[in-house]
Structure 1
Amino acid sequence: IPAMIGLAFFSMPLIACCFAYGKFNLVDLIQTQKSLIALSLGVPAFMMVKVLASGFYAQQDIKTPVKIGALAMIVNSLLCALLITPLAHAGLALASTLASYVNCALLLGILIKRQVYRPEAGWIRFIMILLISNAILSGYLYQLTGTASMWLSRSPFWRLGLLTIDVIGAIGLYLLILWLCGIRLNQFRQLNQEIA
Protein backbone atom coordinates (compact mmCIF):
# COMPACT_ATOMS: atom_id res chain seq x y z
CA ILE A 1 0.00 0.00 0.00
CA PRO A 2 2.73 2.57 0.81
CA ALA A 3 4.46 1.60 -2.45
CA MET A 4 1.22 2.31 -4.33
CA ILE A 5 0.80 5.68 -2.60
CA GLY A 6 4.42 6.65 -3.11
CA LEU A 7 4.38 5.71 -6.79
CA ALA A 8 1.12 7.59 -7.37
CA PHE A 9 2.16 10.81 -5.63
CA PHE A 10 5.76 10.70 -6.85
CA SER A 11 4.68 9.85 -10.41
CA MET A 12 5.29 13.36 -11.71
CA PRO A 13 8.74 13.82 -10.09
CA LEU A 14 9.78 10.32 -11.20
CA ILE A 15 8.81 10.95 -14.80
CA ALA A 16 10.43 14.40 -14.71
CA CYS A 17 13.69 12.88 -13.43
CA CYS A 18 13.73 10.00 -15.91
CA PHE A 19 12.24 11.35 -19.12
CA ALA A 20 11.61 15.12 -19.09
CA TYR A 21 14.47 16.18 -21.34
CA GLY A 22 14.75 17.44 -24.91
CA LYS A 23 11.39 17.33 -26.71
CA PHE A 24 9.58 15.75 -23.74
CA ASN A 25 7.29 18.63 -22.73
CA LEU A 26 4.62 19.42 -20.13
CA VAL A 27 1.84 17.71 -22.09
CA ASP A 28 3.93 14.54 -22.43
CA LEU A 29 4.65 14.59 -18.70
CA ILE A 30 0.97 14.89 -17.77
CA GLN A 31 -0.12 12.16 -20.20
CA THR A 32 2.59 9.77 -18.98
CA GLN A 33 1.66 10.54 -15.38
CA LYS A 34 -1.94 9.43 -15.99
CA SER A 35 -0.79 5.97 -17.06
CA LEU A 36 1.67 5.63 -14.19
CA ILE A 37 -0.97 6.60 -11.61
CA ALA A 38 -3.43 4.09 -13.09
CA LEU A 39 -0.80 1.32 -12.92
CA SER A 40 0.37 2.32 -9.43
CA LEU A 41 -3.15 1.74 -8.09
CA GLY A 42 -2.70 -1.93 -8.99
CA VAL A 43 0.55 -2.49 -7.08
CA PRO A 44 -1.17 -4.18 -4.07
CA ALA A 45 -3.14 -6.49 -6.38
CA PHE A 46 -0.09 -7.35 -8.51
CA MET A 47 1.78 -8.38 -5.36
CA MET A 48 -1.14 -10.20 -3.72
CA VAL A 49 -1.78 -12.33 -6.80
CA LYS A 50 1.72 -13.79 -6.47
CA VAL A 51 1.25 -14.41 -2.74
CA LEU A 52 -2.22 -15.94 -3.10
CA ALA A 53 -1.19 -18.15 -6.02
CA SER A 54 1.47 -19.67 -3.75
CA GLY A 55 -1.35 -20.87 -1.48
CA PHE A 56 -2.69 -22.97 -4.34
CA TYR A 57 0.74 -24.27 -5.29
CA ALA A 58 1.25 -25.39 -1.69
CA GLN A 59 -1.94 -27.46 -2.07
CA GLN A 60 -0.57 -29.01 -5.30
CA ASP A 61 -3.22 -27.09 -7.26
CA ILE A 62 -1.71 -25.47 -10.34
CA LYS A 63 -4.85 -25.42 -12.50
CA THR A 64 -6.98 -23.01 -10.46
CA PRO A 65 -4.59 -20.02 -10.57
CA VAL A 66 -4.11 -20.60 -14.32
CA LYS A 67 -7.89 -20.66 -14.93
CA ILE A 68 -8.41 -17.53 -12.85
CA GLY A 69 -5.49 -15.86 -14.62
CA ALA A 70 -7.07 -16.65 -17.98
CA LEU A 71 -10.38 -15.20 -16.78
CA ALA A 72 -8.55 -12.08 -15.60
CA MET A 73 -7.02 -11.71 -19.08
CA ILE A 74 -10.50 -11.81 -20.61
CA VAL A 75 -11.69 -9.20 -18.10
CA ASN A 76 -8.63 -7.10 -18.98
CA SER A 77 -9.46 -7.26 -22.70
CA LEU A 78 -13.09 -6.28 -22.10
CA LEU A 79 -12.10 -3.40 -19.84
CA CYS A 80 -9.56 -2.20 -22.41
CA ALA A 81 -12.34 -2.02 -25.00
CA LEU A 82 -14.59 -0.13 -22.57
CA LEU A 83 -12.03 2.30 -21.16
CA ILE A 84 -9.84 3.18 -24.14
CA THR A 85 -12.37 5.62 -25.62
CA PRO A 86 -13.03 7.74 -22.51
CA LEU A 87 -9.55 7.48 -20.96
CA ALA A 88 -7.28 6.79 -23.97
CA HIS A 89 -3.90 5.24 -23.02
CA ALA A 90 -4.64 5.62 -19.29
CA GLY A 91 -7.66 3.37 -19.81
CA LEU A 92 -5.37 0.51 -20.86
CA ALA A 93 -3.33 0.89 -17.68
CA LEU A 94 -6.48 1.11 -15.55
CA ALA A 95 -7.86 -2.03 -17.22
CA SER A 96 -4.75 -3.98 -16.15
CA THR A 97 -5.15 -2.67 -12.61
CA LEU A 98 -8.83 -3.60 -12.36
CA ALA A 99 -8.25 -7.04 -13.89
CA SER A 100 -5.55 -7.71 -11.29
CA TYR A 101 -7.99 -6.89 -8.50
CA VAL A 102 -10.50 -9.31 -10.04
CA ASN A 103 -7.77 -11.96 -10.14
CA CYS A 104 -6.83 -11.22 -6.53
CA ALA A 105 -10.45 -11.28 -5.28
CA LEU A 106 -11.18 -14.63 -6.95
CA LEU A 107 -8.00 -16.26 -5.61
CA LEU A 108 -8.66 -14.99 -2.09
CA GLY A 109 -12.32 -16.01 -2.20
CA ILE A 110 -11.47 -19.59 -3.19
CA LEU A 111 -8.73 -19.87 -0.53
CA ILE A 112 -11.18 -18.69 2.14
CA LYS A 113 -13.90 -21.04 0.85
CA ARG A 114 -11.50 -23.98 1.01
CA GLN A 115 -10.39 -22.82 4.48
CA VAL A 116 -6.79 -22.68 3.31
CA TYR A 117 -6.66 -19.06 4.44
CA ARG A 118 -8.20 -18.14 7.79
CA PRO A 119 -7.64 -14.60 9.12
CA GLU A 120 -6.25 -14.69 12.66
CA ALA A 121 -7.10 -12.43 15.58
CA GLY A 122 -5.48 -9.02 15.38
CA TRP A 123 -5.79 -8.59 11.62
CA ILE A 124 -8.55 -5.96 11.89
CA ARG A 125 -6.42 -3.84 14.23
CA PHE A 126 -3.42 -4.23 11.92
CA ILE A 127 -5.48 -3.18 8.88
CA MET A 128 -6.81 -0.14 10.76
CA ILE A 129 -3.24 0.89 11.63
CA LEU A 130 -2.26 0.52 7.98
CA LEU A 131 -5.22 2.60 6.82
CA ILE A 132 -4.45 5.40 9.29
CA SER A 133 -0.73 5.34 8.48
CA ASN A 134 -1.31 5.45 4.75
CA ALA A 135 -3.91 8.20 5.05
CA ILE A 136 -1.39 10.36 6.91
CA LEU A 137 1.30 9.50 4.35
CA SER A 138 -1.06 10.46 1.51
CA GLY A 139 -1.77 13.84 3.11
CA TYR A 140 1.95 14.49 3.56
CA LEU A 141 2.79 13.56 -0.03
CA TYR A 142 -0.11 15.61 -1.39
CA GLN A 143 1.38 18.73 0.20
CA LEU A 144 4.88 17.80 -0.94
CA THR A 145 4.58 16.98 -4.63
CA GLY A 146 4.60 20.39 -6.31
CA THR A 147 3.52 21.28 -9.84
CA ALA A 148 4.63 19.83 -13.16
CA SER A 149 5.95 23.19 -14.36
CA MET A 150 8.07 23.49 -11.21
CA TRP A 151 9.75 20.14 -11.83
CA LEU A 152 10.32 20.87 -15.52
CA SER A 153 11.87 24.27 -14.82
CA ARG A 154 14.62 22.81 -12.60
CA SER A 155 17.92 21.21 -13.53
CA PRO A 156 18.30 17.40 -13.59
CA PHE A 157 20.50 17.41 -10.48
CA TRP A 158 17.98 19.55 -8.58
CA ARG A 159 15.13 17.21 -9.56
CA LEU A 160 17.02 14.10 -8.50
CA GLY A 161 18.21 15.66 -5.25
CA LEU A 162 14.78 16.90 -4.21
CA LEU A 163 13.11 13.61 -5.16
CA THR A 164 15.68 11.69 -3.08
CA ILE A 165 15.06 13.94 -0.06
CA ASP A 166 11.29 13.62 -0.48
CA VAL A 167 11.42 9.82 -0.70
CA ILE A 168 13.67 9.52 2.37
CA GLY A 169 11.37 11.87 4.27
CA ALA A 170 8.28 9.88 3.29
CA ILE A 171 9.87 6.58 4.36
CA GLY A 172 10.96 8.10 7.66
CA LEU A 173 7.48 9.51 8.33
CA TYR A 174 5.79 6.20 7.52
CA LEU A 175 8.11 4.21 9.80
CA LEU A 176 7.57 6.76 12.58
CA ILE A 177 3.79 6.48 12.27
CA LEU A 178 3.97 2.68 12.40
CA TRP A 179 6.24 2.86 15.45
CA LEU A 180 3.85 5.27 17.22
CA CYS A 181 1.00 2.85 16.44
CA GLY A 182 2.89 0.01 18.13
CA ILE A 183 4.26 -1.83 15.08
CA ARG A 184 7.82 -3.12 15.64
CA LEU A 185 10.29 -4.74 13.25
CA ASN A 186 10.70 -7.77 15.53
CA GLN A 187 7.03 -8.60 14.87
CA PHE A 188 7.86 -9.16 11.20
CA ARG A 189 10.95 -11.20 12.09
CA GLN A 190 8.85 -13.38 14.41
CA LEU A 191 6.26 -13.85 11.66
CA ASN A 192 8.96 -14.92 9.19
CA GLN A 193 10.30 -17.45 11.70
CA GLU A 194 6.81 -18.89 12.22
CA ILE A 195 6.29 -19.21 8.46
CA ALA A 196 9.72 -20.84 8.02
Structure 2
Amino acid sequence: MQRKAILIESSNAVIGKPLPGAAQDVKNWQNFLQSDVGGMWNDNEIADIPSCPTWEKVLEEVITCRECPYYVFIVFSGHGAFDKNLNKDVISLNHNQVIPVEDICETVSNITKNAVIIIDACREEKDYVFPTPFNDFTQLPDWNAIFESLRRPSLTKPLCESALSITAYFPYTDMQELRGAYLMDIKEA
Protein backbone atom coordinates (compact mmCIF):
# COMPACT_ATOMS: atom_id res chain seq x y z
CA MET A 1 0.00 0.00 0.00
CA GLN A 2 1.21 3.49 -0.88
CA ARG A 3 0.70 6.56 1.29
CA LYS A 4 1.63 10.22 1.21
CA ALA A 5 1.74 12.97 3.82
CA ILE A 6 1.43 16.62 2.83
CA LEU A 7 2.41 18.90 5.72
CA ILE A 8 1.61 22.57 5.04
CA GLU A 9 2.70 25.47 7.22
CA SER A 10 1.85 29.05 6.51
CA SER A 11 3.51 30.71 9.46
CA ASN A 12 4.07 33.98 7.62
CA ALA A 13 1.15 34.02 5.19
CA VAL A 14 -0.36 37.38 6.06
CA ILE A 15 0.70 40.94 6.84
CA GLY A 16 1.28 41.18 10.57
CA LYS A 17 2.83 39.03 13.21
CA PRO A 18 4.01 35.62 11.97
CA LEU A 19 2.91 32.38 13.60
CA PRO A 20 6.20 30.65 14.53
CA GLY A 21 4.19 27.86 16.15
CA ALA A 22 2.91 26.80 12.73
CA ALA A 23 6.42 25.96 11.52
CA GLN A 24 7.08 24.04 14.73
CA ASP A 25 3.77 22.19 14.34
CA VAL A 26 4.85 20.82 10.97
CA LYS A 27 8.19 19.67 12.42
CA ASN A 28 6.29 17.98 15.27
CA TRP A 29 3.92 16.28 12.83
CA GLN A 30 6.83 15.00 10.75
CA ASN A 31 8.56 13.64 13.86
CA PHE A 32 5.31 12.02 14.97
CA LEU A 33 4.64 10.40 11.59
CA GLN A 34 8.16 9.02 11.46
CA SER A 35 7.90 7.56 14.96
CA ASP A 36 6.72 4.01 15.53
CA VAL A 37 3.45 5.14 17.11
CA GLY A 38 2.83 7.53 14.18
CA GLY A 39 3.24 4.83 11.53
CA MET A 40 6.98 4.94 10.75
CA TRP A 41 6.62 7.02 7.60
CA ASN A 42 9.71 7.18 5.39
CA ASP A 43 11.14 10.52 4.16
CA ASN A 44 10.00 9.75 0.60
CA GLU A 45 6.40 9.37 1.81
CA ILE A 46 6.32 12.96 3.12
CA ALA A 47 5.99 15.71 0.47
CA ASP A 48 8.56 18.50 0.41
CA ILE A 49 6.34 21.59 0.67
CA PRO A 50 7.82 25.12 1.13
CA SER A 51 6.52 27.50 3.79
CA CYS A 52 3.50 29.52 2.61
CA PRO A 53 3.05 27.46 -0.57
CA THR A 54 0.89 28.39 -3.52
CA TRP A 55 -2.38 26.53 -4.06
CA GLU A 56 -0.85 25.28 -7.32
CA LYS A 57 2.05 23.67 -5.41
CA VAL A 58 -0.36 21.97 -3.00
CA LEU A 59 -2.48 20.76 -5.94
CA GLU A 60 0.65 19.43 -7.65
CA GLU A 61 1.42 17.31 -4.57
CA VAL A 62 -2.17 16.09 -4.22
CA ILE A 63 -2.44 15.23 -7.91
CA THR A 64 0.74 13.14 -7.80
CA CYS A 65 -1.15 10.96 -5.32
CA ARG A 66 -3.46 9.88 -8.16
CA GLU A 67 -0.76 7.64 -9.58
CA CYS A 68 -0.14 5.40 -6.60
CA PRO A 69 -0.97 6.32 -2.98
CA TYR A 70 -3.93 4.67 -1.37
CA TYR A 71 -3.82 6.85 1.75
CA VAL A 72 -3.24 10.62 1.94
CA PHE A 73 -2.57 12.54 5.18
CA ILE A 74 -2.74 16.34 5.01
CA VAL A 75 -2.01 18.78 7.82
CA PHE A 76 -2.32 22.56 7.61
CA SER A 77 -1.04 24.90 10.33
CA GLY A 78 -1.45 28.65 9.91
CA HIS A 79 -4.02 31.44 9.65
CA GLY A 80 -7.65 30.71 8.86
CA ALA A 81 -11.14 32.07 9.35
CA PHE A 82 -14.80 31.55 8.58
CA ASP A 83 -15.61 33.61 5.50
CA LYS A 84 -19.08 35.08 6.08
CA ASN A 85 -19.50 35.98 2.40
CA LEU A 86 -18.79 32.46 1.20
CA ASN A 87 -20.23 30.81 4.30
CA LYS A 88 -17.14 28.57 4.35
CA ASP A 89 -14.03 27.90 6.42
CA VAL A 90 -10.93 29.20 4.66
CA ILE A 91 -7.18 28.99 5.18
CA SER A 92 -4.55 31.54 4.20
CA LEU A 93 -1.84 29.73 2.26
CA ASN A 94 0.27 32.80 1.48
CA HIS A 95 -0.02 36.59 1.04
CA ASN A 96 -2.20 36.21 -2.05
CA GLN A 97 -4.26 33.07 -1.66
CA VAL A 98 -7.09 32.17 0.69
CA ILE A 99 -8.51 28.74 -0.06
CA PRO A 100 -11.79 27.24 1.16
CA VAL A 101 -11.16 24.09 3.21
CA GLU A 102 -13.97 22.54 1.18
CA ASP A 103 -11.82 22.86 -1.99
CA ILE A 104 -9.03 20.85 -0.37
CA CYS A 105 -11.46 18.15 0.77
CA GLU A 106 -13.07 17.97 -2.68
CA THR A 107 -9.72 17.73 -4.46
CA VAL A 108 -8.52 14.94 -2.18
CA SER A 109 -11.81 13.02 -2.41
CA ASN A 110 -11.40 12.95 -6.21
CA ILE A 111 -8.08 11.16 -5.67
CA THR A 112 -8.87 8.78 -2.81
CA LYS A 113 -11.53 8.10 -0.19
CA ASN A 114 -8.77 7.11 2.25
CA ALA A 115 -7.55 10.41 3.62
CA VAL A 116 -7.17 12.40 6.80
CA ILE A 117 -7.15 16.21 6.65
CA ILE A 118 -6.26 18.19 9.77
CA ILE A 119 -6.69 21.97 9.76
CA ASP A 120 -5.01 23.80 12.65
CA ALA A 121 -6.27 27.36 12.15
CA CYS A 122 -8.57 29.95 13.69
CA ARG A 123 -12.20 30.13 12.59
CA GLU A 124 -13.14 33.68 13.53
CA GLU A 125 -15.90 35.08 11.33
CA LYS A 126 -14.52 37.51 8.77
CA ASP A 127 -15.71 39.35 5.65
CA TYR A 128 -13.07 38.51 3.04
CA VAL A 129 -12.38 40.18 -0.25
CA PHE A 130 -12.16 36.82 -2.00
CA PRO A 131 -10.01 35.18 -3.29
CA THR A 132 -7.35 37.17 -1.44
CA PRO A 133 -7.59 38.99 1.88
CA PHE A 134 -4.38 40.94 1.22
CA ASN A 135 -6.06 44.36 1.17
CA ASP A 136 -8.27 43.36 4.06
CA PHE A 137 -5.25 42.56 6.23
CA THR A 138 -3.52 45.83 5.42
CA GLN A 139 -6.62 47.92 6.20
CA LEU A 140 -6.87 46.60 9.74
CA PRO A 141 -3.86 47.80 11.73
CA ASP A 142 -4.77 45.58 14.68
CA TRP A 143 -5.75 42.52 12.61
CA ASN A 144 -3.30 40.20 14.33
CA ALA A 145 -4.68 41.09 17.74
CA ILE A 146 -8.22 40.49 16.49
CA PHE A 147 -7.35 37.29 14.69
CA GLU A 148 -5.48 35.74 17.60
CA SER A 149 -7.99 37.16 20.07
CA LEU A 150 -7.89 36.05 23.65
CA ARG A 151 -11.68 36.21 23.74
CA ARG A 152 -11.80 32.70 22.32
CA PRO A 153 -11.55 29.88 24.82
CA SER A 154 -8.08 28.41 24.95
CA LEU A 155 -6.54 25.19 26.11
CA THR A 156 -4.97 25.17 29.54
CA LYS A 157 -2.28 22.80 28.31
CA PRO A 158 -0.53 22.90 24.94
CA LEU A 159 -1.10 20.13 22.44
CA CYS A 160 1.89 18.00 21.60
CA GLU A 161 2.04 15.85 18.47
CA SER A 162 4.61 13.52 20.01
CA ALA A 163 3.95 10.38 22.01
CA LEU A 164 5.76 7.64 23.85
CA SER A 165 7.18 4.89 21.73
CA ILE A 166 4.74 2.08 21.12
CA THR A 167 7.64 -0.33 21.60
CA ALA A 168 7.52 0.55 25.31
CA TYR A 169 4.21 -1.32 25.38
CA PHE A 170 5.11 -4.04 22.88
CA PRO A 171 8.87 -4.50 23.33
CA TYR A 172 9.06 -7.72 21.31
CA THR A 173 7.48 -6.33 18.15
CA ASP A 174 9.72 -6.17 15.09
CA MET A 175 9.68 -2.65 13.56
CA GLN A 176 8.94 -3.87 10.02
CA GLU A 177 6.17 -6.07 11.38
CA LEU A 178 4.74 -3.07 13.24
CA ARG A 179 4.88 -0.89 10.10
CA GLY A 180 3.14 -3.65 8.13
CA ALA A 181 0.38 -3.91 10.74
CA TYR A 182 -0.11 -0.13 10.58
CA LEU A 183 -0.41 -0.20 6.78
CA MET A 184 -2.88 -3.12 6.90
CA ASP A 185 -5.05 -1.28 9.42
CA ILE A 186 -5.19 1.77 7.12
CA LYS A 187 -6.07 -0.41 4.14
CA GLU A 188 -8.87 -2.15 6.02
CA ALA A 189 -10.32 1.07 7.50
- Higher helix proportion: 1
Normalising to structure 2: TM-score of the pair?
A: 0.27
Normalising to structure 1: TM-score of the pair?
A: 0.27
